[in-house]
Amino acid sequence: MTEMTHSFRNARLVLPDEVIEGSLDTRAGLISGIATGPSAHGHDCEGDYLIPGLVELHTDHLEVHYAPRPKVRWNPVSSVQAHDAQIACAGITTVFDALRIGMDEDADLQAADMRLLADAIETAQAENRLRADHFIHLRCEVSAPDVMEGFEIFGHDPRVKLISLMDHTPGQRQFVSLDAYKLYYKSKKGFTDEQMAEFIEKRRARADDIAPRNRKLLSVIAAEHGIIIASHDDATVAHVDEAISLNTRIAEFPTTLEAARASHAAGMGVLMGGPNVVRGGSHSGNISARALAEDGCLDILSSDYVPVSLLQAAFQLADEIDSLTLPRAITMVTSTPADMAGLHDRGRLVEGRRADLVQVRMVGSVPVVRGVWREGRRVA
């Protein structure tokens, strides 16, 4: 059998440290050659950028397809396929689907739904239904009484490669402002002032009782099974010190410059949301991703809840920040998240790496994905 080969010509190749005009060859799903100058054969990129496939570490977008309306549940495999199509068409070839465990008492979705979606991901992947390469990221709400029970549902699932330790207790981290917390929950639950005060007190007492224990239990289990740990919404140096003690590798969505700097200095990959970049700031009023990029302590971008934001955010940062080159911005959505996740076979246009590729054309300020290849095979 002849090995599958493919060539790309007339491309602006975004290499790890520079952009060159040239061609790229693939063989058996890997990059087999890169050359400067014109070429007479292969797929004509028409002067477009050719970049590595994007690597997404935290998207909770799958739930939108599974529960498109309150109390409505879609077929889980169909939901995964719809999510995957949107992911791939956004240029993402490797995705960590974030599934939450540790639920509110009145949550619309439960841990069993998350397990159902995980099973659907694994079924769809095994049946070659998917365009992107999918892994699982468990978002663990450590202040929830059922978080360990939810974690046990996933057992030793080998597709679980990443967990984040979240704590949305009022008065700290994302909700350091009680006004923001009250506004969110009053609109969600229709509480009176008295009910809101009681709710906050109950949440704080519960977190004080169980959150520290759950953090330690989850970190021990993660270490035993080689699962990478991410912190979430760190706001202080004390939060970062705690994360370091738990062998945390990724700092997701730090809410202050102080926490981001401390995490970056400790060798953690500091991750912020693409929507934060595109919108010009945090929807919660916390530190902006651009401020961290300008400070030099932003390492990774995530699409979070808008898949197309990942590519747009990288190009936008490169365009708006003089000190940030396009190759450096592209590493934030390719090689750095891949390396932090232990996936060293992808994320760079380098011979021998996976031929996960995206053809991108800039039209105005918004990039257009014109082709996506995973291991040398076109998927979008």
372 φψ region: left (φ > 0), alpha (ψ -120 to 50), beta (else) = beta
Q: Are 84 and 295 in contact (CB under 8 A)?
A: no
* Contacts of residue 270, Cβ cutoff 8 Å, sequence gap at least 6: 251, 254, 260, 263, 264, 292, 297, 298, 299, 300
Quick one: tokens of 220? 């021990």
Predicted confidence band of residue 1 (pLDDT cuts 50, 70, 90):
very low
Mean pLDDT of the chain: 92
Residue with tokens 């095979």: 377
Residue with tokens 């540790």: 102
Average pLDDT over residues 339-368: 97
Q: How many residues does the chain have?
A: 380
pLDDT, tens digit (0-9, with 9 covering 90-100), for 17-48: 999 999 999 999 999 999 999 988 899 999 99
Among 229, 233, 177, 169, which residue's Cα sits nearest to residue 205? 169
Quick one: tokens of 177? 């402002």
Quick one: tokens of 304? 């979070």
Q: What percent of the chain has pLDDT above 70?
A: 91
370 or 167, higher pLDDT:
370
Average pLDDT over residues 366-379: 97
Domain-wise residue ranges, the chain = 1-52+347-380, 54-345
pLDDT, tens digit (0-9, with 9 covering 90-100), for 330-353: 999 999 999 999 999 999 999 999
pLDDT, tens digit (0-9, with 9 covering 90-100), for 270-305: 999 999 999 998 876 789 999 999 999 999 999 999
Instruction: Give the Å distances, CA to CA, from 18 to 29, 65, 330.
Output: 23, 38, 11
Point out the least confidently predicted range of 4-18, 48-62, 172-186. Answer: 172-186
Tell me which CATH code domain 1-52+347-380 carries: 2.30.40.10
pLDDT for 173 equals: 63
Quick one: tokens of 308? 């197309």
Predicted confidence band of residue 2 (pLDDT cuts 50, 70, 90):
very low
Sheet arrangement for strand 250-252: 54-59, 92-101, 133-141, 160-166, 228-232, 250-252, 269-273, 300-302
Amino acid at 158: P
- Beta-sheet pairing, 357-363 with 366-374: antiparallel
pLDDT for 189 equals: 67
Predicted confidence band of residue 187 (pLDDT cuts 50, 70, 90):
low
pLDDT for 250 equals: 98
Cα 214–chain centre separation: 23
pLDDT, tens digit (0-9, with 9 covering 90-100), for 210-252: 888 999 999 999 999 999 999 999 999 999 999 999 999 999 9
* Contacts of residue 186, Cβ cutoff 8 Å, sequence gap at least 6: 196
Give me the torsion for CA of 147, 148, 149, 155, rounded to 10°: 120
54-345: CATH superfamily: Metal-dependent hydrolases (3.20.20.140)
Q: Are 73 and 117 in contact (CB under 8 A)?
A: no
